[in-house]
Structure 1
Amino acid sequence: MSEIASLHERQPGRFVIGTRGSPLALAQAHEFAERLAGAHGWAKAELPLDIIRTTGDAIRDRPLSEAGGKGLFTKEIDQAQLLGRVDYAIHSAKDLPTTLPDGLVIAGYLPREDVRDALIARGAAGIADLRQGAIVGSASLRRQAILKRARPDLEIVLLRGNVGSRLEKVAAGTIDATLLALAGLKRLGLADKASGILAIEDCLPAVGQGAIAVVTRSEDPVATEALAPILCRETGIALAAERAFLGELDGSCRTPIAGHATVAGERFHLRGLLLAPDGSAAVEDSISGPVAEAAALGAELGRSLRRRAPAGIYS
């Protein structure tokens, strides 16, 4: 505790940001640093990055669901934060496990980017345009199941790696197509690489897609208070509903789950989808209500879908 306490005596504006080292993770960390520095009039040098390699970054040869799930992208950063090495941890919200380690909390989210998925393919603007038996690469069980549900003829193969390497696989003809989050492409200045943008109605996003989460220590009021000018209320409400929904299902990457919430004034709307891994069965529903009940109603929708899950979804 003495190490953490000493951090609370630091000069105002001096915070260390923990992040993964992928180009997208760095783009997100820089966006956070620029917003925070701009809000307080700090020099960007007062917000240095600590780049931390995670277990998830090292695994490229198998699905993360077989290696432990979402926490593989956060564990080492969590440890650094709990030891006082970093003050803020910046994560893609969809990579966060449903439960964080004791002592850490999601302090909030930056304004959300476009939540839709982008198709990367040669000569195809939509899933229906892909050739018969096309090879599509993806590491996401959600995307795999949605693709199989729409086009059982497609050959789905595992595709890991950063955004650039996935784009290269399509460009080289190793695979015919892949799906990527449009938010990530936009943050990397690569939105023009998308051959088509999939409608939310056809490809419901992952929980948290497009949102950047800011994690702090629960007992670090200095770091937490500094975030107030840059956090997005509407994104926080939407993510409260989505993460509560996910928490009632299976947030460990072993089950294909999609969920997306929107906020309009003091009301929210959440749509959720639970699929069999092979796309052969699915259950889908939505719920709406006051924003004050977003988490409670999100959890209610999750319990409802779990009760109605067709055989084969949970093995």
Structure 2
Amino acid sequence: MTSVVSSSQRTVRIGSRKSQLALVQTYWVQEQLQKSFPDITFEVHTMATQGDIILDVALAKIGDKGLFTKELELGMINQEIDFAVHSLKDLPTNLPEGLVLAAITERENPADALVVNEKFKDRQIDTLPEGAVVGTSSLRRLAQLRHHYPHLAFKDVRGNLNTRLAKLDAGEYDALILAAAGLQRLGMGDRVHQVLPKEVSLHAVGQGALGIECRGDDAEVQKLLKAIEHPATRDRCLAERAFLRDLEGGCQVPIGVNTEINGDTLTLTGIVASIDGTEFVQDAVTGSTSDAEQLGTQLAQRLREQGAQPILDKIFTEIQRGS
């Protein structure tokens, strides 16, 4: 195959979803690469994914394998684009044949954030009144929050960030749980009312990081992408993704994580929870950053020994039934 960065071709095509957040993230990647390789032209090509088109159905009911990535992956396989920028939490842990995760960029704050309607500006998550309506499209957040705050009411919310915030401000919801990283990247960090501590909500696998996917046989593009990889974020996210992969959980299964690095030591915490929040299995492992993926597998096996598998089996059944 002819490299896209050979002397006869100095243009690299970047694939992106059309959403505002996706474009902000993709233009950031484009800017970083342009600084590092000024003699190469990096063009952004946008595509609509299934997850962008179907906005009136809960994510868990659609089936989320590749929901926000499939069209971009087909674009790479068909050589319409050379690499794609994803929110890493949207990228399945098993990639299509011929594609690889070439780089992971430095992570923004991966925590979940509470955003409130003006009438609750003096409240925190643990002081919201009984029956307050909290919007989230994530089963992971839903399961953990139901566990800690069974007195709150939870309601699904879809749409882009501006749409969700408009629904909140109009009073359709009393609060929303959103990714702090997305708000920060869109210049809406001031809407973060409270960053939820890990004791309340372990974040999604890969949350806050960007994953850049490309063809496995395109060594030149892979070499370019390594210029913007962040090693510590990579190690943390590889551990998280191995944990999720071993449990065979998609993005919409209530699996949460937290990773911390101290020198060459990585600590991975993981949770599997039932959708109603009543069943809850959590543990942590610590080891070398060089063994990141093995740590993820080890933690998955540990949680299985503690009863995670029956919880997961029940969740898959509930999702298939449309519960």
> Shorter-chain-normalised TM-score: which range?
over 0.9
TM-score normalised to structure 1 length: 0.94
Counterpart position of 1:300: 298
State the secondary structure of the residue aligned to 1:229: helix
Alignment partner of 1:139 is 2:137: yes
State the secondary structure of the residue aligned to 1:240: helix
- Pick the aligned partner of 2:205 from 197, 207, 228: 207
CA contact under 8 A between 2:134 and 2:153: conserved in structure 1?
yes
The Cα of 1:115 is off from its aligned counterpart by 0.9
Partner Cα separation in structure 1 for residue 56 and residue 304 of structure 2: 31
Counterpart position of 1:69: 64
CA contact under 8 A between 1:64 and 1:70: conserved in structure 2?
no
Q: Which string of whole-angstrom CA distances, capped at 9 and with x for unpartnered residues, describes residues 249-268 of structure 1? A: 13224520001222222111
Cα–Cα, structure 1 residues 12 and 260, in superposed 2: closer, same or farther, change >3 Å? farther
State the secondary structure of the residue aligned to 1:286: strand
Counterpart position of 1:185: 183
The Cα of 1:157 is off from its aligned counterpart by 1.1
- For the aligned residue pairs, the C-alpha RMSD in angstroms reads 1.7
TM-score normalised to structure 2 length: 0.91
Partner Cα separation in structure 1 for residue 101 and residue 20 of structure 2: 23
Partner Cα separation in structure 2 for residue 137 and residue 197 of structure 1: 16
The Cα of 1:8 is off from its aligned counterpart by 5.7
Counterpart position of 2:75: 80
Q: Which string of whole-angstrom CA distances, capped at 9 and with x for unpartnered residues, describes residues 146-166 of structure 1? A: 111111121111111111111
Counterpart position of 2:196: 198
Give the count of matched residue pairs.
Answer: 310
The Cα of 1:293 is off from its aligned counterpart by 1.0
Counterpart position of 2:319: none
Partner Cα separation in structure 2 for residue 228 and residue 55 of structure 1: 29
- Pick the aligned partner of 1:110 from 105, 118, 133: 105
The residue correspondences of 1:236-315 to structure 2 (distance < 5 A) are: 236-309=234-307, 312-315=311-314
What letter is aligned with 1:5? T
CA contact under 8 A between 1:115 and 1:209: conserved in structure 2?
yes
- Pick the aligned partner of 2:114 from 106, 115, 119: 119
Q: Which string of whole-angstrom CA distances, capped at 9 and with x for unpartnered residues, describes residues 49-75 of structure 1? A: 111001111111222222221411111
The residue correspondences of 1:219-234 to structure 2 (distance < 5 A) are: 219-234=217-232
Alignment partner of 1:164 is 2:155: no
Q: Which string of whole-angstrom CA distances, capped at 9 and with x for unpartnered residues, describes residues 257-284 of structure 1? A: 0012222221111010110001111010
Alignment partner of 1:50 is 2:45: yes
Counterpart position of 1:60: 55
Alignment partner of 1:31 is 2:28: yes
What letter is aligned with 2:48? R
Partner Cα separation in structure 2 for residue 201 and residue 153 of structure 1: 18
Q: Which string of whole-angstrom CA distances, capped at 9 and with x for unpartnered residues, describes residues 79-128 of structure 1? A: 00111111110000000111000010001111111111111113255211
State the secondary structure of the residue aligned to 1:31: helix
Percent identity of paired positions between Structure 1 and Structure 2: 38
Provide structure 2 residue ranges, at least 5 long, that are not aligned to the other structure.
315-323
What letter is aligned with 1:183? A
State the secondary structure of the residue aligned to 1:50: strand
- Pick the aligned partner of 2:19 from 10, 19, 22: 22
State the secondary structure of the residue aligned to 1:100: coil
